[in-house]
Amino acid sequence: MSGETSQLHIFFFPFMAHGHMIPAVDMAELFASRGCKTTIVLTPANAKFFAEAIERSRNLGLNIEIVLLKFPAVEVGLPEGCENAHSVTTEEMAMKFLMAITMLEQPLEQLIMEHRPSCLVADIFYPWATGVAAKFGIPRLVFHGTNFFALCASICLNKYEPHKKVSSESEPFLIPNLPDEIKLTRSQLPFYAKEDSQLSTLAKKAEESELTSYGVIVNSFYELEPAYADYYRKVLGRKAWHIGPTCLYNEDKEDREQRGPKSTIDEHECVNWLNSKKHNSVVYVCFGSNANFNDAQLEKIAMGLEASGKEFIWVVRKEKQEEGKEEWLPEGLEKRIMEGKGLLIRGWAPQVLILEHEAVGGFVTHCGWNSIMEGVCAGLPMATWPVAAEQFYNEKFVTQLLGIGVCVGAGKWARFVGDSVKKEAIEKAVTRLMEGEEAEEMRSRARELKVLARRAFEEGGSSFSDLNALIEELRLHRTS
Ligand code: UDP
């Protein structure tokens, strides 16, 4: 077969959260750049974040499109337009959001019937997608949005349940049978790993669907975690392809400026500010798209940053109050911002653009996997402050295994509002991150990883080859 008829058509169906949609769109562009036709399934309120980027890609000749799926927000009792995990702030909303997610099965089936793709890449949050794909005789690939290490750690934790053998939330336990000695505490685990709930049922189904699906796509690269890439495949028996870091796709485009929502700061203003700073002098502080902190914690972060004396860009999700003084923003820090020594971005930052600027010397991160990949690609050391999801695993990976990070000291997994950390701990972590021998050592290791990341992604590299191998296999599968 040749031409149009031989073109693979891949459907990408991400979880409706920025941390899942951003890499899914990267992946769709990446597959399209290798000659596939790709379709991203999004809901209307989420599609608007990516419409311009997709249009630019189409203008560059990629065969890529978005198709819409109605999100049943109102039907489950959520406000209209609440279609993104980012807007979910309470337990009750989270349950409704999950309910809405499960209601997407029929509409997805309908879309597949209409478009007849040759493969479905569906998020781990949709365990039922394997069954939908099977109905149409097409393979379903799973996308978790995390790394091999976290996948292995989580499977071993569920299998051996070491957390059930400790007597308190703070007693460390070893995750058995991993290539390295990894210790965690119960308080660092998500509640759904410890007790039965709707989410723990979903997590079990998700793990099962990983085994029954065609395989797993991982946004990582072999050289970053060879022991865990091997362990996942050879010991845990999963079929997987590593194709990352996907954030390296399209480096020259406006896409660097806008990934997901429109930035709430003018990108040129941000770059101009950074241009006026010395190399490696600025610390960038951002906690991803979901994590929140209360005012007391924001104040401690502000005071810690101020005490460190470092210049900073700090992304705060809280909107500016119309009237009155903001209690969490101490005068000292406000003064430094006025003097141009700091930049406060309220809302959405052009993160990749900032991380890649040479003035940025360190990244205080909540350890979301996309942020870590972006930090690695920018060659930056990190101060780790995990909040939720698998972020405590990622912290271990960055600090203990990669040796490019220092822990800020968050000890408790939190669903919506991050664990409390003292001002002194923040100050100490920022100082360790930005100055002295330890910082230099971490920075130099991070720079080596940056080189390895690029090499893996470029033609002939391990991720490039694995993506080729996957596409080839999908072609063969279709014709067999
Ligand atoms: N991001 C961004 N600007 C922001 C906050 C987040 O561009 O102000 C991007 C970030 O670059 C990353 C994604 O949003 O690509 C967040 O994903 P991650 O896995 O780091 O964290 P999550 O939001 O899923 O917790």
Q: Is the CB of 363 under 6 A from ligand 1?
A: no
What is the model's pLDDT at position 327? 81
Q: For ligand 1, what atom is nearest to the CA of residue 289?
A: 23
**DSSP structure string for 251-268:** TTSGGGT-SSSPPSS-HH
Q: For ligand 1, what atom is nearest to the CA of residue 351?
A: 7
Question: Which one, of 65, 25, 71, 21, lies nearest residue 44 by Cα?
Answer: 71
pLDDT band at 324 (very low <50, low <70, confident <90, very high): low
In this prediction, the answer to ipTM > 0.85 reads yes
Nearest CA to ligand 1 atom 15: 370
- Span 203-212, mean pLDDT? 89
Task: Enter the tokens of residue 112.
Answer: 């597949």
Kindly state the percentage of the chain with pLDDT values over 70: 98
Catalytic residue, chosen from 18, 26, 123, 466, is 123
Q: Is it the case that residue 254 has pLDDT exceeding 80? A: no
- Span 57-61, mean pLDDT? 94
Quote the strand ranges of 366-428, DSSP E. Answer: 382-384, 405-407
Q: Among 123, 247, 370, which residue has the most ligand 1 atoms within 8 Å of its CB, making it the best to mutate?
A: 370
**DSSP structure string for 329-348:** S-HHHHHHHHTTSEEEEES-
The answer to whether 268 is a known catalytic residue is no
Q: What is the pLDDT of residues 97-134, one digit of tens each?
A: 999 999 999 999 999 999 999 999 999 999 999 999 99
What is the model's pLDDT at position 252? 66
Q: Is the CB of 260 under 6 A from ligand 1?
A: yes
- 141 Cα–ligand 1 center, Å: 23
For residues 234-254, b (16+ Cβ closer than 10 Å) or e, as one string?
A: eebebebbbbbbbbbbbeeee
- Greater confidence (3 vs 96) lies with 96
Q: What is the pLDDT of residues 418-461, one digit of tens each?
A: 778 999 999 999 999 999 999 999 999 999 999 999 999 999 99
The answer to whether 123 is a known catalytic residue is yes
DSSP state at residue 431: H
What is the model's pLDDT at position 196? 83
pLDDT band at 241 (very low <50, low <70, confident <90, very high): very high
Q: For ligand 1, what atom is nearest to the CA of residue 348?
A: 8
77-91, 169-183, 241-255, 350-364: range with lowest mean pLDDT: 241-255
Q: Which domains does the chain have, with CATH numbers?
A: 9-165+192-249+455-479 (3.40.50.2000), 261-454 (3.40.50.2000)
Question: Which one, of 117, 112, 120, 114, lies nearest residue 12 by Cα?
Answer: 120
Q: Is it the case that residue 30 has pLDDT exceeding 90? A: yes
- 370 Cα–ligand 1 center, Å: 6
Q: Is the CB of 84 under 6 A from ligand 1?
A: no
pLDDT band at 3 (very low <50, low <70, confident <90, very high): very low
CB 383 within 8 A of CB 305: no
